[in-house]
């Protein structure tokens, strides 16, 4: 067990990892990295390393779950046993089942589910390494996987958390801040529609602090959104370049 | 969690909401009638039955000894479980808990845990070795919508009704003595759920409204009126503005409920 740090913000106003209160961790995103999936994405958000893959639209299994008027979106959030300090049992925990549900509900509003009746799309998320804020990074990657699979969407969904440590509202908590800090507010957002598709909170926040945290998280989402779009474009730029080389 | 509802009925609910009315005659920001009855199960250390309109939830609290979590060696343990009993709705099936019952249990859990409702330090018998474990079991007996608020209310009411057995430690073993003391509580969280239908926020959606609404927002408030848990649910979304509106509405309603409950 690591000792709990007493202060999460130093005298200069910097956090344990040297960030300013409203600063994101470094984010790196790649799209289309799994050859068997219809769409896929990999995200490194700070020390979080997460893979997401989308399969479909395809026939539903079991068949009775198919819906006559729409596509069914399914989602599995799963953590690798080696992703955290103490080995996590590979069996799905109650936390993972809840997160799978809220992640699915965060992605659903973005997808034109009525375009593909009787089909299903499966999104699988594997957390390879966790360091706080995995549900948010998972949503950012999963939405890209859906886009990469060519599924018609209203907007990309992007997620980021804000929280409270040492009486200050800060952006994008990492593991220690999440555990020692006093509140965590993950938010998923569709920037073009101004739509919040996931909102959770634990800890204690005064209503004004909650408002500030939600607004701060949404600003964080907007920043990651740019990286998300960039990652998607990069994949297709590469394909274009390859084609040009072949033509020559 | 849905059963069948006709399109006519759905339209009707939507059209009424546009006129700020509801099928059961309530205003948009009005709860159904709430009845709380404590101490209904004698064999449990604590219990409560809550009626929220026709929604009925029974919560039983059992207390046993167990080992603390390694990162909190001086704290008792809280465990919340929810059962969507098949007799409560034609859509509930027997079997292991599904995602709906797990989500319900975790929302109730978060409200109690994050508000630090139970003084867990007082449940420590021997640091790092033996503590009391508080099992809160939520039993949904009749599903007529808004299980979250009914369950959260029943859980806190049951905890307020919970008696700890008196004990002494002999050779590292807990020996139960005569008599009881009240379970030490520090806060009494109140949970309010809002539904969104046609971009309007409604308080305490009942079953048919739940099938029309595209998303819900749940917020729990502690004794000081601070937020201690939040959960958005459903396949729709809220705008940034709606979230803040929702927060204010939930805060108001929670304060109102607290007065009514005299918590």
Burial B37-52 (b: 16+ CB within 10 A, else e): ebeebeebbbbbbbbb
CA distance, residue B177 to nearest chain A CA (Å): 36
Q: In 10 A of CB B87, how many CB atoms?
A: 11
Strands (E), chain B: 34-38, 46-52, 55-66, 77-84, 124-126, 130-142, 163-170, 173-182, 190-197, 200-203, 215-221, 227-233, 238-239
What is the pLDDT at residue B171?
81
User: What does the DSSP assignment read for B137-202?
Assistant: EEEEEE-SS-HHHHHHHHHHHHHHT-EEEEEEEETTEEEEEEEEEEPPBS---EEEEEEEETTEEE
Contact call for B232 and A206, based on CB within 8 A: no
> What's the rounded Cα separation, in Å, for the pair B22 and B203?
11
| Cβ contacts of B248 on chain A, cutoff 8 Å | 207
Among candidate residues B227, B217, B254, the one with its CA nearest the CA of residue B31: B254
Q: Which of B215, B227, B242, B251 to mutate to test the interface with A (most CBs of A within 10 A)?
A: B227
Using CB atoms, which residue from B70, B237, B247 is nearest to A207?
B247
Q: Is the ipTM of this complex over 0.85?
A: yes
Q: Does B115 sit within 8 Å of A206, measured CB to CB?
A: no
Domain containing B28: what range? 7-261
Of the partner residues A98, A108, A198, the one whose CB lies closest to the CB of residue B106: A98
Name the residue with tokens 């390859």.
A242
Q: Chain B closest CA to A197's CA: distance in Å?
A: 5
Q: Which of A108, A197, A201 is nearest residue B227 as measured by Cβ atoms?
A: A201
Predicted local distance difference test score (pLDDT) of residue B167: 87
Straight-line distance from the first to the last Cα atom of chain B, in angstroms, rounded to the nearest whole number: 31
Contacting residues of A for B70, CB less than 8 Å apart: 1
- CA A240 to chain centroid, in Å, comes to 28
- Assess if residue B1 is contained within a domain: no
Residues of chain A with Cβ-Cβ distance to B148 below 8 Å are none
Q: What is the chain A residue with the closest CA to B114?
A: A203
* pLDDT value at residue B1: 44
Q: What is the DSSP letter of B33?
A: P
pLDDT band at A1 (very low <50, low <70, confident <90, very high): very low
CA distance A11 to chain B (A): 28
Return mean pLDDT, chain B. Answer: 94
| A chain contacts of residue B102, beta-carbon cutoff 8 Å | 94, 97-98, 101
Asked whether residue B157 is domain-assigned, the answer is yes
Using DSSP's 3-state secondary structure scheme, residue B42 falls into: coil
B39: left (phi over 0), alpha (psi -120 to 50) or beta: left
> Largest Cα–Cα distance of chain B, in whole Å?
69
* Annotated domain spans of chain A: 27-230
What residues pair up with A198 in beta bridges, in sequence order?
A188
Q: Is A58 on the interface with B (CB under 8 A)?
A: no
**Cα distance from N-terminal residue to C-terminal residue, chain A:** 59
B2 belongs to a structural domain: no
| pLDDT cut 70: percent of chain A above it | 99
Q: Contact at 8 Å (CB) between B130 and A220?
A: no
> Quick check: B239 and A215 CB within 8 A?
no
At A58, list the tokens: 């395809």
Q: Is A196 near chain B, with CB under 8 Å?
A: yes
Reference A161, options A146, A153, A150, A172; nearest CA is A172
A164: Cα separation from own chain's centroid: 20
At B177 the pLDDT is 87
pLDDT tens digits, A30-84: 999 999 999 999 999 999 999 999 999 999 999 999 999 999 999 999 999 999 9
Average pLDDT over residues A144-159: 97
C-alpha count within 13 angstroms, C-beta hemisphere, residue B242: 22
Nearest-10 crossing angle of helices A134-148, A94-107: 50
Which chain A residues in 140-179 lie under 8 Å from chain B, judged by CB atoms? none
| pLDDT beyond 80 at A170 | yes
Q: Indicate whether A130 pLDDT > 80.
A: yes
pLDDT higher than threshold 50 for residue A134: yes
Give the C-alpha separation, B193 to B146, whole Å.
Answer: 7
Q: Which of residues 89-108 of B touch A (CB under 8 A)?
A: 99, 102-103, 105-106
pLDDT less than 70: residues of chain B: 1-4
The Cα–Cα gap between B182 and B162 comes to 6
Q: Chain B within 8 Å of A67 (Cβ-Cβ)? A: no
Q: What pLDDT is stored for residue A37 in this prediction?
A: 97
- pTM, rounded to two decimals: 0.92
The pLDDT of residue A242: 82
Distance CA A52, CA A139 (A): 9
Cα of B106 to nearest chain A Cα, Å: 8
Write out residues 124-183 of B within 8 Å (CB-CB) of A. Answer: none
Residue B138 belongs to domain with CATH number: 3.30.230.70
Q: What's the rounded Cα separation, in Å, for the pair A129 and B29? A: 44
Cβ contact A210–B247 (<8 Å):
yes
pLDDT band at A5 (very low <50, low <70, confident <90, very high): confident
pLDDT at A4: 72
Cβ-based contacts of A195 with chain B (< 8 Å)? 237-239
- Cβ distance B227 to A205 less than 8 Å, yes or no, reads yes
Token reading at B208: 């048919």
- Output the CATH code of domain A27-230: 3.30.230.70
Domain count, chain B: 1
pLDDT of residue A2: 53
Query: Which residue in B105, B186, B232 has the most chain A C-beta atoms within 10 A of its own C-beta, making it the best mutation to test that interface?
Result: B232
Q: What is the pLDDT of residue A167?
A: 92
CA distances to B2, B213, B235 from A103, in Å:
20, 19, 10
Q: Which of A244, A178, A248, A188 is nearest to A217 (CA)?
A: A188
The whole-angstrom separation of Cα B213 and Cα B197 is 5
DSSP string, chain A: -PPPPS-SB-TTS-BTTS--TTPPPPEEEEE---SSSSEEEEEEETTEEEEEEEEEEEE-SSGGG--SSSPEEEEEEEE-TTSSSSPPPSSPPHHHHHHHHHHHHHHGGGB-GGGSTTEEEEEEEEEEE--S-HHHHHHHHHHHHHHHTT--BSS--EEEEEEEETTEEEES--HHHHHHSSEEEEEEEEGGGTEEEEEEEEEEE-HHHHHHHHHHHHHHHHHHHHHHHHHHHHHHHHHHHHHHHHH-
Residue from A70, A201, A209 whose CB has the most chain B CBs within 10 Å, to mutate: A201
Asked whether the beta carbons of B104 and B138 are under 8 A apart, the reply is: yes
**Interface check A111 vs B, CB under 8 A:** no
């Amino acid at each position: 067990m690591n000792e709990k740090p007493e202060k999460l913000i130093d005298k200069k106003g910097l956090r344990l990892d040297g960030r300013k209160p409203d600063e994101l961790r470094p984010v790196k995103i790649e799209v289309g990295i799994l050859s068997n999936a219809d769409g896929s994405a990999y995200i490194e958000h700070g020390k979080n390393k997460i893979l997401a893959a989308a399969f479909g639209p395809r026939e539903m299994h079991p068949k009775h779950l198919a819906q006559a008027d729409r596509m069914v979106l399914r989602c599995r959030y799963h953590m690798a046993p080696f992703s955290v300090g103490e080995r996590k049992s590979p069996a799905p925990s109650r936390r993972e089942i809840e997160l799978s549900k809220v992640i699915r509900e965060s992605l659903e509003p973005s997808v034109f589910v009525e375009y593909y009746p009787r089909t299903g799309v499966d999104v699988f998320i594997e957390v390879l390494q966790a360091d706080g804020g995995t549900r948010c990074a998972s949503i950012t990657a999963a939405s890209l996987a859906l886009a990469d699979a060519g599924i018609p969407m209203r907007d990309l969904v992007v997620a980021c958390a804000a929280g409270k440590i040492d009486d200050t509202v800060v952006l994008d908590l990492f593991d220690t801040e999440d555990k020692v800090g006093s509140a965590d507010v993950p938010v998923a957002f569709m920037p073009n529609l101004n739509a919040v598709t996931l909102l959770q909170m634990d800890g204690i926040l005064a209503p004004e602090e909650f408002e500030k945290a939600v607004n701060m998280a949404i600003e964080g989402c907007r920043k990651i959104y740019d990286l998300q779009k960039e990652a998607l474009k990069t994949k297709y730029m590469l394909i274009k370049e390859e084609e040009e080389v072949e033509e020559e | 969690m849905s059963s069948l509802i006709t399109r006519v009925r759905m339209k009707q609910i939507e059209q009424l909401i546009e006129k700020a009315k509801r099928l059961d005659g309530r205003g948009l920001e009005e709860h159904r009638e709430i009845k709380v009855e404590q101490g209904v199960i004698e064999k449990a250390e604590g219990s409560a039955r809550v009626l929220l309109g026709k929604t009925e939830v029974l919560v039983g609290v059992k207390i046993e000894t167990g080992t603390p979590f390694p990162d909190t060696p001086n704290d008792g343990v809280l465990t919340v479980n929810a059962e969507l009993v098949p007799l409560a709705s034609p859509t509930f099936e027997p079997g292991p808990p599904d995602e709906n019952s797990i989500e319900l249990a975790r929302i109730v859990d978060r409200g109690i845990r994050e508000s630090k409702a139970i003084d867990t330090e007082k449940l420590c018998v021997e640091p790092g070795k033996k503590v009391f474990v508080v099992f809160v079991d939520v039993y949904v007996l009749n599903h007529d919508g808004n299980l979250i608020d009914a369950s959260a209310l029943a859980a806190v009411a049951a905890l307020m009704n919970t008696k700890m057995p008196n004990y002494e430690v002999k050779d590292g073993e807990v020996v139960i003595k005569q008599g009881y003391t009240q379970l030490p509580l520090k806060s009494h969280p109140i949970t309010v759920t809002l539904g969104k239908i046609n971009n309007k926020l409604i308080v305490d959606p009942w079953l048919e409204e739940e099938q029309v609404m595209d998303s819900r927002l749940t917020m729990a408030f502690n004794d000081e009126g601070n937020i201690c848990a939040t959960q958005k649910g459903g396949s729709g979304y809220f705008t940034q503005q709606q979230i803040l509106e929702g927060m204010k509405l939930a805060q108001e309603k929670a304060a109102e409920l607290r007065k009514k409950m005299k918590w």
